[in-house]
Structure 1
């Protein structure tokens, strides 16, 4: 990219507003993320074919394979993690939330490699995890990689990460609305128009790409939502209460597993997950497979209460073990399957009691998925839109609201349970919160506000400095000198107002920041003193191209917080 074009693009991206530049770049990042997810999905399907699992866990494999595949997969995942040389093995949605808050969404390449190959192996091997966790991680990594290579400022990288996540989720499930809301409600945890517009574009791109490659069929095409009579709505609310309670139990089980094994070696944890999953697969073949495959099992065994109850216990345990012990997969797909089984058991129990006309099986399965998701991740709007889009049905909206509200309130208020992602971050000691000052200042790149009309002097005399200050008027005056290691030193020069009538000068050392930095980084340098400045440089620290003073930061902060 030509230097002038890159500079113009970077300056537009530094603005905390919706610009054509961020929309186009977000769209490009979304396309890249969607293509990566398409490759991810193809690899899973091809891997399933290689191990002879063409029905994708709908028909049980031979007992020997059911036992050996999860254990072999655990060893393969460990080998990949070790080859990547990662010091810490952290992946998935909680880790992405942490990186969004602390590192503008930029993800280490090693963790991305681990997530890509580890997620493929885990899903092929039948672990009870979802593919949305890897999708979020890979989407953010792909989009920020593009932003990094066009030298985008860090505030834009954060937006690009959000775009990549939205495109990846849309490409995984063909749910663009739910993808947008999930990004805002779960990952960013804020709604901003200047982020929402490019995220919307990238979600559309992800959805269109997945339709072109995989077709327009919904993941839940086998379910047909029907109108639920008003007389059955109390049962919807009761189901919401049940889902809230089970959601809390599942979170507690998974977090207890994480806490128990956190001091174990990586190999031990993965082997334990493999052996337990393999043992369950021998006893209960239907326990294998990601969450959405459990829905097909529910449909195939409708009304078989003993089998469904056994499957529910197996899936609760298998998902908690796999996710708690570090198998690289997602939680949302896993709880979707659990919610569907709970709803199937609930409908069967009500039908056995005979105190209500037969409940709509398909509709209640969808409601079970919506309620358990809201109870676990505390994102009611994302849960609602996900079910509406997956079912392609508007009739489900009102019942879904009635099941989501009690499930969410039971989890968050009655049991004081946190979102599973937040609880995971706290257990791993990963910070996910920022002071309001930093949140506000992260949105603006320094290139948008820096002063370029400053005066730079090389080791001037006292008289030259006084003359420069008098003639500079409102310009900032900076003095450059060289230290004993021949490194440049920069100081901000001003009149010392405490010196009385004598023309005494005040020298304030200033540090340099890369032009892709944000005002939050400027605040970190000079916020404690509430004065001074930093100089901005292009690709090295020798040639300042701009100055950001404390006054500039203060005005930007007032503008944002207003």
Structure 2
């Protein structure tokens, strides 16, 4: 074994343990940097694409009628061509798909869906579809980081952690919100809090934030909003806004899911063209309906107190976002609901201020509250919603009112209407499994290399006397016998004394299957749980000799320890 191979094996063994190690921190940092750099390229491509189509003002100045109508339709045709060339049987991407892959495949994503997400996301955002860029960011971040792990032969339990690191770095690189990125990963994607995952995710989020600051500058995309402290006398209005946002979130979710269920049997081309045609018509009638949700905030600020314009903008964003997302346009949902929440809050503020109160509600502050409340109502991640709005606004004064708007919005959505997180509802609509048994959850955290027995005896086609002699001398060691079958392939069997054989030296041969050294204990459980006994051998290279063995008893003890 060379020196490099020895270092690689030592690092891999550290990565197999469900603990915070220097190896996983360094690898998480590298994965986070790779994810952040990919997002930088993604953002640059969107900006340059916008200039190419004549959009110099981020949809604040309407383009000519022909361009506004033609852009979404041309984009839909390009997206269809892209998906056709990639020969993808199903178009699945974004945050729901990443949640599914995290649960079922340790966060590893097919390269075809990643290419589709990268190019398709750029096309959709350049063309002005009412979607956000955080969905593609999550997908691309997970793909970039797990690509790093895969190419250094990382155990699958660490690949899952790397996917979380990539997602956090990608969100931080997209919006410069490292704390919200960490919490979003834990609350929405992983749906659990574990310290050994949290530390490398924190490092990756910091890397993503620093990289985006160096390239795009430290300014927040919501720098135009300046929040102020909300007087205590206005707190009931904050709670009332939370109730309205909870209802608005439920309406948007139901509208989007209805679109998904209505078009699920349509061909991909039909769905994309239908979404493009609706978007193009809205762009002709209401030019401000074009663009991601965050661009709606600019329109809200320009048309404060103009109820008719705000109400029209709300209807346009509701329809445009639900149609685009429900029909499979490759974009994100969070950016879209931010825009809807901002318009709802602006309408609420305008109506309340017309009551001639002693202290008028401050537009900027309530727009930020609207974004926080509707995000909590839609994705059921109250902590992520709170921290996202605090970081985007660069304001600590908004924390208390944000809490007061998030709580009723979340409770109205989850309890009164019994509405699921929009991501979980999307997974249900697409028949993508996202739940696994607690046993699998517990055992996925540990790689086999952390638990395997390495001091075993391997015998090549021994005689019975040789085998008996080894068994007598190896009281605490497993003994494996290798034979060659008729196809000249090695067959491994675990050999033990047959206890019920009395005084005669009867032996028990149990065939055992092999698992790669990057596997987890969950895969050993899948192999052995039927018989509740036996073992699997572990190999490093394909067709290689066993380098370790994991018995059923080892898995059982690890499970007891993890669940205790």
TM-score per shorter chain, which class? over 0.9
Contact 1:92 1:329 in 2 (8 A): yes
* Aligned residue in 2 for 1:555: 557
CA–CA separation in structure 1 for the residues paired with 2:503 and 2:247: 75
| Structure 2, unaligned runs of 5 or more | none
Distance apart, 1:354 and its partner CA: 2.5
* Aligned residue in 2 for 1:440: 442
Secondary structure in 1 aligned to 2:499?
coil
Distance apart, 1:501 and its partner CA: 2.4
* Aligned residue in 1 for 2:476: 474
Query: Cα gap change, 1:414/1:26 in structure 2, threshold over 3 Å: closer, same or farther?
Result: same
Higher mean C-alpha deviation, range 280-289 or range 462-471: 462-471
Secondary structure in 2 aligned to 1:478?
strand
Distance apart, 1:542 and its partner CA: 3.4
* Aligned residue in 1 for 2:321: 319
Secondary structure in 1 aligned to 2:325?
helix
Aligned 1:452-467 pairs, distance under 5 A:
452-467=454-469
Secondary structure in 2 aligned to 1:493?
strand
* Aligned residue in 1 for 2:131: 129
Aligned 1:264-413 pairs, distance under 5 A:
264-355=266-357, 357-413=359-415
CA–CA separation in structure 2 for the residues paired with 1:270 and 1:22: 41
* Aligned residue in 1 for 2:188: 186
Deviations 1:77-135 (A, max 9, x none): 11111111111110000000000000000000000000000000000000000000000
Pair 1:87-2:112 in alignment: no
* Aligned residue in 2 for 1:144: 146
Higher mean C-alpha deviation, range 7-16 or range 329-338: 7-16
CA–CA separation in structure 2 for the residues paired with 1:513 and 1:541: 11
CA–CA separation in structure 2 for the residues paired with 1:145 and 1:114: 16
Higher mean C-alpha deviation, range 345-354 or range 155-164: 345-354
Alpha-carbon RMSD across the aligned residues, in angstroms, is 0.8
* Aligned residue in 2 for 1:229: 231
* Aligned residue in 2 for 1:539: 541
Which TM-score applies when normalising by structure 1? Answer: 0.99
* Aligned residue in 2 for 1:212: 214
CA–CA separation in structure 2 for the residues paired with 1:31 and 1:356: 51
Deviations 1:167-219 (A, max 9, x none): 00000000000000000000000000000000000000000000000000011
Deviations 1:521-557 (A, max 9, x none): 0000002211100000011133111000111111111
CA–CA separation in structure 2 for the residues paired with 1:423 and 1:115: 21
Distance apart, 1:356 and its partner CA: 5.3
CA–CA separation in structure 1 for the residues paired with 2:193 and 2:204: 16
- Aligned partner (choices 11, 14, 20) of residue 9 of structure 1: 11
CA–CA separation in structure 2 for the residues paired with 1:503 and 1:349: 90
CA–CA separation in structure 2 for the residues paired with 1:539 and 1:428: 37
Distance apart, 1:458 and its partner CA: 1.3
Higher mean C-alpha deviation, range 414-423 or range 537-546: 537-546
Contact 1:488 1:542 in 2 (8 A): no
Distance apart, 1:3 and its partner CA: 1.7
* Aligned residue in 2 for 1:508: 510
Deviations 1:263-314 (A, max 9, x none): 1111110000000000010000000000111111111111111000000000
| Structure 1, unaligned runs of 5 or more | none
Contact 1:512 1:541 in 2 (8 A): no
Secondary structure in 2 aligned to 1:129?
coil
Deviations 1:22-78 (A, max 9, x none): 000100100110000000000000000001100010010001100000000000011
CA–CA separation in structure 2 for the residues paired with 1:300 and 1:193: 45
Secondary structure in 2 aligned to 1:480?
strand
Secondary structure in 1 aligned to 2:492?
strand
Secondary structure in 1 aligned to 2:234?
helix
CA–CA separation in structure 1 for the residues paired with 2:348 and 2:497: 78
CA–CA separation in structure 2 for the residues paired with 1:364 and 1:56: 23
CA–CA separation in structure 1 for the residues paired with 2:281 and 2:488: 66
Secondary structure in 2 aligned to 1:314?
helix
CA–CA separation in structure 1 for the residues paired with 2:233 and 2:332: 36
* Aligned residue in 1 for 2:166: 164
CA–CA separation in structure 1 for the residues paired with 2:406 and 2:307: 24
Secondary structure in 2 aligned to 1:548?
strand
Count of equivalent residues:
562
CA–CA separation in structure 2 for the residues paired with 1:542 and 1:96: 33
Deviations 1:293-349 (A, max 9, x none): 111111111111100000000000100000000000000000000000000000011
* Aligned residue in 2 for 1:24: 26
- Aligned partner (choices 244, 247, 262) of residue 246 of structure 2: 244
- Aligned partner (choices 42, 62, 70) of residue 60 of structure 1: 62
Higher mean C-alpha deviation, range 357-366 or range 322-331: 357-366
Secondary structure in 2 aligned to 1:489?
strand
Which TM-score applies when normalising by structure 2? Answer: 0.99
Distance apart, 1:500 and its partner CA: 2.3
Deviations 1:346-396 (A, max 9, x none): 001111232453101110000000000000000000000000000000000
* Aligned residue in 2 for 1:259: 261
Secondary structure in 1 aligned to 2:483?
strand
CA–CA separation in structure 2 for the residues paired with 1:341 and 1:503: 82
Distance apart, 1:468 and its partner CA: 1.3
Contact 1:303 1:348 in 2 (8 A): yes
Contact 1:295 1:337 in 2 (8 A): yes
* Aligned residue in 2 for 1:521: 523
